[in-house]
Amino acid sequence: MIYLQLFLTFAKIGVMTFGGGYAMLPMLQREIVKNRGWATDEEMLNYYAIGQCTPGIIAVNTATFVGYKQKGILGAIVATLGMVFPCIVIITVLAGVLTMFRSNVYVQKAFSGIRIAVSALIFVSVFRLAKKAVVNVNTAIVAVLGFALQLLLGFSPILITACAIAYGLLLYFIRRKNDAAA
């Protein structure tokens, strides 16, 4: 029963990895490539690369790819549902428990400390990503605009992203035109 296997395999991957993204790659390789033989190492890296440049969660995108390759559209849907199923169960239980204890003074103290750690973690991941993404004056301007348009003008991230996509397309066509002229 391939559909059940797809669901269970991705549910297992969902349970066993913390953090998603790159943390998930070794687990995906072991389960999908070695244990199941549903994809080759090269295909897996390709899925990951495409997952990074398409909207949405990388792990979910990979599940969709592998599911589609095995059993078409239905396989894609089953694999994706398998991936998200454990998260829904675990978070729902935790969220229910935390909501009950939210007014407790110790829980509040603990979360005040946790928020500081989360601020630091986001700061560090911005710093690490910036080393790869901000490589010249143009990319630096884009990053500054992404921050400033929200802070100063209250633009929504959706609007800013749409503008950035338009800018990227414009950049591409200008370059192509220049190349053709040269």
Q: How far apart are CA 138 and CA 117, in angstroms?
A: 32
Question: Do 73 and 63 meet the contact criterion of CB atoms below 8 Å apart?
Answer: no
Q: CB of residue 36 vs other proteins: minimum separation in angstroms?
A: 18
Return all residues near 49 (Cβ < 8 A) that are at least 6 apart.
none
Nearer to other proteins by C-beta: 4 or 169?
Answer: 169
Q: List the one residue from 49, 74, 104, 177 that touches other proteins (CB under 8 A).
A: 49
Return all residues near 39 (Cβ < 8 A) that are at least 6 apart.
32, 33, 47, 65, 66, 69
List binders of other proteins among 26-45 (CB under 8 A): none
Q: CB of residue 53 vs other proteins: minimum separation in angstroms?
A: 5
Nearer to other proteins by C-beta: 19 or 37?
Answer: 19
Q: Which amino acid is at 129?
A: L
Report the SS3 class of residue 77. Answer: helix
In the block, residue with structure tokens 């095995």 = 70
List binders of other proteins among 52-81 (CB under 8 A): 52-61, 64-65, 68-69, 73, 76-77, 80
Q: How far apart are CA 61 and CA 96, in angstroms?
A: 28
Q: How far apart are CA 72 and CA 137, in angstroms?
A: 44
Among the residue ranges 1-9, 28-36, 90-98, the one whose residues contact other proteins (CB under 8 A): 90-98
Nearer to other proteins by C-beta: 4 or 72?
Answer: 72
Which letter does DSSP use for residue 102 in this model? T
Q: CB of residue 135 vs other proteins: minimum separation in angstroms?
A: 8
Q: CB of residue 34 vs other proteins: minimum separation in angstroms?
A: 21
List binders of other proteins among 143-172 (CB under 8 A): 143-148, 150-151, 156-158, 160-162, 164-165, 167-169, 171-172
Site string for other proteins, 98-127 (x = CB under 8 A): xx------x--xxxxxxxxxxxxxxxxxxx
Question: Do 15 and 87 meet the contact criterion of CB atoms below 8 Å apart?
Answer: no
Q: CB of residue 86 vs other proteins: minimum separation in angstroms?
A: 6
